[in-house]
Chain A
Amino acid sequence: MENTTSPNKAILVLEDGTVFEGYAAGKIGTTEGEIAFNTGMYGYQEIFTDPSYYGQILVMATAHIGNYGVHDQEVESEGLKIAGLVTKKFSEIYSRVGGNGTLQEYLERDGIVGICDIDSRSLVRHIREKGAMNAVISSDNLNAEALKELVKKVPSMEGLELSSKVTSSKRYVVKAENESCKVALLDLGVKTNIVRCLNDRGCTVEVFPSDTSAEEILSTNPEGIMFSNGPGDPSAMKNVVEQVGKLVDSGTPCFGICLGHQVIALSQGLSTVKMFNGHRGVNHPVKNLISGKAEITSQNHGFVVSRESADANDNIEVTHIHLNDETLAGIRVINKPVFSVQYHPEASAGPHDSRYLFDDFVAAIKEHVMN
């Protein structure tokens, strides 16, 4: 399989002019975006359908992708969200009795362009050294010089607002089987599994588009408010941050994940910065400073809340830190039932160590309702 039957060549050009040659995967065409790598070894379908990856050309560091095909149940949104795929071995066949097709068919269906059979390790090392940058993949134009011109025109991720591109266009409700509370969810690019994790805990979830006003959300009398993950630069989301600030002030229990965490932080006067290299993978160690326990987490972010700004703010307690680089991984607003984490407790893909945060959220809701 692989390059013996897919003779189409493809080319990857980075913003700094570096060129990698390989073979085409997915749709034949040209695509652009910011290049980032993910080190997870399983869960490619969940990753590719995660709206937080919107606009990103994703390098999968693991050697093989596609081996177990795709499965209707393992999606984090309606379709593929990555801008392009870069990998080493791309399997055009798959092995899974309950599977629903090959990854190739899936990429073609959603028109995603990819490249395989490149020295992806050297590419990851390159990005590690040089930092995040834009890139172009093409399998219909192998002219490196032309692509170098094209990549110059790709807008920088910094200052880019992308949530509005992936948020739901209208409000909708996902009912819990054994409803015990009502949660409003501000969809900044939500992963399905966040809703599922809430549903599993008896929370009926009403999902709101990212441009919904705080007043509109509060008018539905939610018992808890969830701020979802999503793509882009949080500092470019002035309006959302303003609404989030009002929602936090309302005293309703709030829980933020990833971009949701960042907008809570911004609403409290903290700042965010673009990371040299983001955290993307399913093996990130986080320490819970309250319990003293460590957890292995799923992460996907290129921006982070500044640790200094959190330490300097008297209203904020740092609750979680990343153990590899001691960046901020979680905060709590003092004297308010509001907390958030930079990583993904809903996992999918990734370990389930941090699911307790949803329990904490539900507990906070129950406590708030009681009072």
Chain B
Amino acid sequence: MPRDKSIRSVLIIGSGPIVIGQACEFDYAGSQASRSLREEGIEVTLINSNPATIMTDPVVADNVYLLPLEPESIEDILKKHNIDAVLPTMGGQTALNLAIKCDEMGLWEEFGVKMIGVDIAAIDITENREAFRNLMEQIDVPMAPQATAKSFLEGKEIAQRFGFPLCIRPSYTLGGSGAAIVHDREQYEKLLTRGLHASPIHEVMIDKALMGWKEYELELLRDANDNVTIICSIENFDPMGIHTGDSITVAPAMTLSDTVFQRMRDMAIKMMRSIGDFAGGCNVQFAVSPDAAEDIIAIEINPRVSRSSALASKATGYPIAKVAAKLAIGYHLDELKNQITRTTSAMFEPTLDYVIVKIPRWNFDKFKGADRELGLQMKSVGEVMGIGRSFQEALQKACQSLEINRNGLGADGKELRDQEQILNSLEHPSWNRLFHIYDAIRLGIPFKKIQEKTKIDFWFLKQIEDLIKLERKIEKHTLSSIPKEMLFEAKQKGYADRQIAHLLGCLESEAHAKRTELGIKRVYKLVDTCAAEFEAKTPYYYSTFEEENESVSSDKKKIVVLGSGPNRIGQGIEFDYSCVHGVLAAKECGYETIMINCNPETVSTDFDTADKLYFEPVFWEHIYDIIQHEKPVGVIVQLGGQTALKLAEKLDRYGIKVLGTSYEALDLAEDRGSFSSLLRECNIPYPEFGVVESAEQATELSKDLGFPLLVRPSYVLGGQRMKIVINEDDLETTVVDILRDMPDNKILLDHFLDGAIEAEADAICDGEDTYIIGVMQHIEPAGIHSGDSFAVLPPYNLGDLVLQQIEEYTKTIAVKLRTKGLLNIQFAIKDDKVYVIEANPRASRTVPFIAKAYGEPYVNYAAKVMLGEKKVKDFKFNPKRNGYAVKIPVFSYSKFPNVNKELGPEMKSTGEAIRFIKDLKDPFFRKIYSERNLYLSR
């Protein structure tokens, strides 16, 4: 059946602000779905309160509503537009919940809106554990023994019946909070009581914990004719016991026989068919017993696209959200073409001739006091994906993508050698367990013990052991004696030149030169859904070390845009928004665009965003090799946050053109000393400051600057390790702490302007003319990181004189820095005097916000300025200025119950929302304004 012609207008619900467990994968899904529907001539209306997303951009949808995700907003939209259908499967659980709420209120029925992509029955049954369990029993799909307890006594009986270990989950609490795994009776009684109390209905679900069982996920698509295909199988490196969002995962499944896989496939299809009658995507999770029986148990099913389906799309090349949207409007799978080959059918199961490894990215350092052990509740804030022609290569590349100051897995001098600490980490996994497995093997801890403690599959552990065997061989050599074959093997196994240099005791550049001389060169292979069986038409590449290079370099004029790597606090989806716009703007100017990024959740890594996508670590060696191969006219580093920006120095050193603002200017703004000289020259006030390298120097300097002081290491992201101190004792402790963790780092001390008001300005400059795109005033007083403050666009109570100073200073600094592109300046205002706190000559977190609020494509303009294609005066600026736009920071504290909600100069929010208000009498504004000092920490 071709598409349902009665559907002419579709509403897509987004997932709202980024929080742990629901991140930018839904921006990717929503954007893809929207484009997929518009291709069919369908009018797409989109609602999302998250301004940092691409999906809420006019390039994606016909009508965009940046409104709170509430039934009232939906009602407003339905009154304004003649919506035929709502697609709630692209916005995570948030969107499904909102769709259910609207359904209960009868909104869909009232406005004659059909639900597509899922049905209410399916959402209901997958959320109601008891009903789901009964259904699975009916269709003969086994699940782990489970029961509910409404009292302490009942709970104890259940434990006796099932035996330990057990999972306790309080009913009706959000995001798995309060869930725990219990290993013994004593602990059980304590946690059972706690769980019962945590539940609003005094009820807990208790299930037998399948600790150490192997964990798998399947991604399914199903059409209205009940055809089903499995798009991807994903195997968790970390067995059951760790949330899949916090597990290292691998595709295709590495240790699965066809018999077990097919049984799992049959079960998944049966499950999807049983939960409802709908056309769309589904994610199913399974556990397999690690014994000869190979029993399979279903864990859960999600009738929507998910984090895993975003990963599966990037892993296989098969655009799940795009196809799911087509299925939702009636198409059958066999009527659609494979989007990659464009000649074969979309009704097939992708097959891989490479391996992908996903590693989550955590930010525990931002949450003091947080329980860092991984468990049933997801704690990571982002993820990276490495692609290679073997598991080992993909694993090393994923480690190189993480940006945690490691050069890969091991071979970088950062090994842990404390046996006790390692053993503890193996048993109580946190963000660094993978590295500690490596350390354990290197230290010679018996293999059996490592297996016992981690329960990770033997095959995976052997792969890591094999890497260490190779390292030991390499270590016996020097740069001149290492045989070509050994070097080639190391490169094939994913070792970075830096790691090899470490093993050989030479410089990275020497290792690179040696392998180049030996003819060991990176080649690029296509991600093509079909293991090369058919010709692929999409330019989605990864690198490896083999014979044939499939990436043909064109002689068009081209540019590279560096992506922002894994999402983390301080560097999130905003930067992906900017990267995507940078790519689109460069395309408009006739450039061939090349995107480099390693974050599978993003729109920038969609195969049809840039002309060429290199899914590679944003790591020097990989970037340099791509540049050598492609020979672009230059590289845009301004859009990808600190990840991209910090590579500017090396690009410049290697004679590669940094497009837009030059490296010297970037460095000038980053270097406190020279930047202050510039401010002094221009008569621009700034807080008194100094640079120190020891606690003694700090105490000395504090006498000149006076307390309170803002202490921070230089060159950091999102206010990392930044602290305000009020006396010498505090100061000493802080400095010693920083130097312990970041030796050789210089420390900046700023006089802290207590009680000051903060504001920031974003501007586009072409070196001569500057256009200020927006000034935002923070609601909280100085001392809270700009990313964590409520902020209002335009300022709500700054005097004309102050605004004048802000504008004047912004323009002066922009021109002085010879900015070509974007610039963000942070100000503190005290007693009507404006101080410049810092200047960032790059796309800031607030640019997408201002662009959305004013309805203008500022990143597009800025990119054209960077490329030298346009001057500021070439644009006609016409911002829509009605009332105010409030930026609302959103936190994920609920995932860390032991952490105080306390704000300071170090950023902690994971996402943001936008809210438009007419005037300052608005009750929402008055509420947040009156609470502005509530969470201020010292």
Contacts and interface: CB of A to CB of B under 8 A. Distances in A.
Interface of A: 1-4, 20, 37, 39-43, 45-46, 61-64, 67-68, 71, 73-74, 88-89, 91, 93-98, 119-122, 124-125, 128, 277, 281-285, 287, 292-296, 323-325, 347-352
B392 to A, nearest CB: 9
Given A63-B355, A128-B532, A296 B349 contact: yes
Contacts of B94: none
Interface in B803-831: none
Contact of A74 (B257, B290, B457): B257
B255 A68 contact: yes
A39 B257 contact: no
Contacts of A325: 344
A36 to B, nearest CB: 11
Contacts of B227: 293-295
A62 B225 contact: no
B355 A323 contact: no
A136 to B, nearest CB: 19
Nearest to B525: A121
A351 B265 contact: yes
30 contacts: A1-B466, A2-B466, A4-B466, A4-B470, A39-B533, A42-B253, A43-B257, A62-B531, A63-B391, A71-B257, A74-B259, A91-B459, A98-B293, A119-B547, A121-B546, A124-B531, A128-B533, A281-B351, A283-B351, A284-B348, A285-B347, A292-B225, A293-B225, A294-B227, A294-B333, A296-B347, A296-B348, A296-B349, A350-B262, A352-B266
B353 A120 contact: yes
Contacts of B470: 4
A39 B352 CA distance: 8
A8 to B, nearest CB: 13
A121 B459 contact: no
Contacts of B259: 43, 71, 73-74, 348
B257 A96 contact: yes
B258 A43 contact: yes
Nearest to B258: A43
Given A74-B258, A122-B546, 8 more contacts: A4-B469, A39-B351, A42-B256, A63-B352, A74-B259, A296-B348, A324-B345, A349-B262
B262 A97 contact: no
Interface in B449-493: 457-459, 462, 466, 469-470, 473, 489
A350 B254 contact: no
Contact of A283 (B253, B349, B353, B548): B349
Contacts of A74: 257-259
Contact of B462 (A1, A3, A98): A1
Given A98-B292, A121-B389, A351-B265, A62 B257 contact: no
Contacts of B351: 39-41, 61-62, 281-283
B252 interface: yes
Contacts of B466: 1-2, 4
Interface residues of B, number: 61
A64 B258 contact: no
A37 B458 CA distance: 29
Contacts of A89: 389-391
Given A285-B345, A324-B345, A294 B261 contact: no
Nearest to B261: A42
Interface string B191-218: 0000000000000000000000000000
A125 B444 CA distance: 43
Nearest to A74: B259
A67 B348 contact: no
Contact of B252 (A62, A88, A96): A62
B533 A4 contact: no
Interface of B: 225-227, 229-230, 233, 252-259, 261-262, 265-266, 290-294, 332-334, 343-345, 347-355, 389-391, 457-459, 462, 466, 469-470, 473, 489, 525, 530-535, 546-548, 550
B258 A95 contact: no
A50 B459 CA distance: 26
B489 A3 contact: yes
A63 B257 contact: no
B533 A281 contact: yes
A24 to B, nearest CB: 15
A115 to B, nearest CB: 14
A321 B348 CA distance: 14
A325 B354 CA distance: 25
B287 to A, nearest CB: 15
Which 4 pairs across A and B sit closest by C-beta, in order of nearness? Answer: A43-B258, A98-B292, A122-B548, A95-B459
Contact of A64 (B262, B334, B391, B531): B391
Contacts of A122: 546-548
Nearest to B269: A353
A325 B525 CA distance: 25
Nearest to B492: A117
Specify which of A37, A63, A95 lies most central, judged by the most chain B CB atoms within 10 Å of its CB. A63
Given A39-B530, A41-B252, A63-B352, A287 B334 contact: yes
Contacts of B458: 93, 95
Contacts of B256: 42, 68
A41 B352 contact: yes
Specify which of B225, B256, B351 lies most central, judged by the most chain A CB atoms within 10 Å of its CB. B351
A352 B266 CA distance: 7
Contacts of A39: 351, 353, 530-531, 533
B174 to A, nearest CB: 37
A98 B288 CA distance: 13
Contacts of A347: 262
Nearest to A129: B535
Nearest to A347: B262
Contacts of B349: 282-283, 296, 351
Contact of A352 (B262, B290, B292, B535): B262
A39 B355 CA distance: 14
Given A39-B351, A42-B261, A294-B347, A64 B473 contact: no
Given A4-B466, A41-B252, A63-B354, A283 B348 contact: yes
A60 B332 CA distance: 31
A192 B59 CA distance: 56
A62 B353 contact: yes
Given A89-B390, A91-B459, A128-B533, A350 B258 contact: yes
Given A93-B462, A97-B291, A349-B258, A88 B353 contact: yes
Given A4-B469, A42-B256, A351-B262, A121 B548 contact: yes
